Structure 1
Amino acid sequence: MATDGGFEAFWPAYLRDHARPATRAVHVGGTLAGAAVLLAGVIAGSWWLMLLAPVLGYGCAWGSHLLVERNRPATFRHPLWSLRGDLRMAWLAVTGRLGAELRRHGL
């Protein structure tokens, strides 16, 4: 996975690591669920919900890599870029632009 060119060099490799639609769907679902639980925890002032949010988000993501994609999550190599990639992929999916981004990168 590219590391020298910053996040923009990492992004195409991140997308390749999420080549299967099921992996992307589980990732996006986990990211959105984690964000919702985090927001609920902040609003309610509940520390346990705030702590549950990353467990939920990463649990879904790691499970999809293990069971669907059968590769190693980028989180273990580049944790901050991976989080940024998760958020970017979820945003692109929600806004209907993920397909175009995948095609742009030949996926």
Structure 2
Amino acid sequence: MSRIKTYAEFYQFYLSEHQNKTCRILHFTGTLLVFVLAVLAVYLGNNVLWIFVPIMGYGFAWVGHYFFEKNKPATFSYPLWSLVSDFRMFFDILIGKISFDGNKDKL
């Protein structure tokens, strides 16, 4: 595959790498926990909680890729766009723009 040049192209690729429902659920759960931990860390003034933010975010996502999607996370090739896309996919699912079932995306 040639190097992706635009974010719009990348997001389509990103979604195609997240077709498995369980993988998307794990991504969504990990991202939700990232938000919960970040809010708790700030609210409680507990800096130790920040250690768990990447563990939750990446841990859930990588389990989804390894065991369910059976592909390599895009984080390794496109780290910044992948991070942005994880949050975008989270909010796209939250507002109903896309579903947990990747085969039903209509973007």
* Shorter-chain TM band: 0.7 to 0.9
Q: Counterpart in 2 of 1:103?
A: 106
1:31: Cα distance to partner? Answer: 0.5
- Which residues of structure 1 form unaligned runs of 5+? none
> Given residue 23 of structure 2, which amino acid in structure 1 is its aligned partner?
T
User: For the aligned residues, what is the CA RMSD?
Assistant: 1.5
The equivalences for 1:49-88 within 5 A come to 49-88=49-88
% identical equivalent positions: 34
1:29: Cα distance to partner? Answer: 0.8
For 2:85 and 2:105, how far apart are their aligned partners in 1? 13
> Given residue 65 of structure 1, which amino acid in structure 2 is its aligned partner?
H
Q: 36-45 vs 83-92, which deviates more?
A: 36-45
2:32 matches 1:32: yes
> Given residue 97 of structure 1, which amino acid in structure 2 is its aligned partner?
K
> Given residue 3 of structure 1, which amino acid in structure 2 is its aligned partner?
I
1:27: Cα distance to partner? Answer: 0.4
1:40: Cα distance to partner? Answer: 0.7
Relative to the length of structure 2, the TM-score reads: 0.88
Relative to the length of structure 1, the TM-score reads: 0.88
2:4 matches 1:3: yes
> Given residue 106 of structure 2, which amino acid in structure 1 is its aligned partner?
R
* Higher share in helix: 1
> Given residue 102 of structure 1, which amino acid in structure 2 is its aligned partner?
D
Per-residue CA deviations over 1:26-72 (Å, capped at 9, x if unaligned) read 10111011111111111111111112111111100011000100000
- Which residues of structure 2 form unaligned runs of 5+? none
> Given residue 66 of structure 1, which amino acid in structure 2 is its aligned partner?
Y
SS at match of 1:98: coil
| Aligned length, in residue pairs | 102
Q: Which runs of 4+ in 1 moved over 4 A?
A: none
Q: Counterpart in 2 of 1:21?
A: 21
